Amino acid sequence: MERALAVVEGSESAKQLVHEAGELASGVGADLVLVHVTTTEEYESTRTSLEQIPSIETSYTAGQALEGARQFAADIGREMLEDVDVEWEAVGRLGDEREEILDAAEEYDCDHVFVAGEKRSPAGKALFGDATQAIILDFDGTVTVVTE
């Protein structure tokens, strides 16, 4: 492992994953990229909600969503990696979670991806899709998945 990508989310298992990814990267002298993806649906929902507040004249731009995602990844990084000796960078993305994670891994030349998976039945995966499963199948490298 030379550079790993850890997907940052708000769950405790995802936070712990960031810490473990940092420990492993530190142990082999690798760099770590922390990425948080704001989905298009989350962005649109927030933008619509803000537009409906009559007393506020503001807009929620894609740039603000990207910066918010980057800041979230950085906040989790500071919290979970404060005692880990690893070089890390926070990245925010906006769009389809699976596509953005795979694009970020390629863009930052990552050879390992750490992701927190959701527990779902096989029928649930078939009906609703599963970003973690797609990453496992489509990433050309090692994928480590943890579930709660």
Question: Could you report the per-residue pLDDT of 39-66, keeping only the tens digit for each?
Answer: 999 999 988 888 788 777 677 889 999 9
Phi first, then psi, for residue 120 (nearest 5°) are -140, 145
- Confidence bin at 28 (pLDDT 50/70/90): very high
Mean pLDDT of 12-35: 96
DSSP string for 62-75: HHHHHHHHHHHHHH
Residue 5 contacts residue 143 (beta carbons within 8 Å): no
Mean pLDDT of the chain: 89
Q: What is the pLDDT of residue 126?
A: 46
Question: Could you report the per-residue pLDDT of 70-109, keeping only the tens digit for each?
Answer: 999 999 999 999 999 999 999 999 999 999 999 999 999 9
The helix, strand and coil proportions of the chain, stated in percent and rounded to the nearest 5, come to 50, 20, 30
3 secondary structure, DSSP code: E
Q: What is the pLDDT of residue 119?
A: 61
Whether 123 shows a pLDDT value over 70: the answer reads: no
- Confidence bin at 32 (pLDDT 50/70/90): very high
Structural domains of the chain sorted by starting position, each given as residue range(s) with its CATH number in brackets: 3-147 (3.40.50.620)
C-alpha to C-alpha distances, 20 to 9, 56, 124, 133, 146, nearest whole angstrom? 14, 42, 28, 21, 10
% of the chain at pLDDT higher than 70: 91
Phi first, then psi, for residue 75 (nearest 5°) are -60, -45
pTM: 0.87
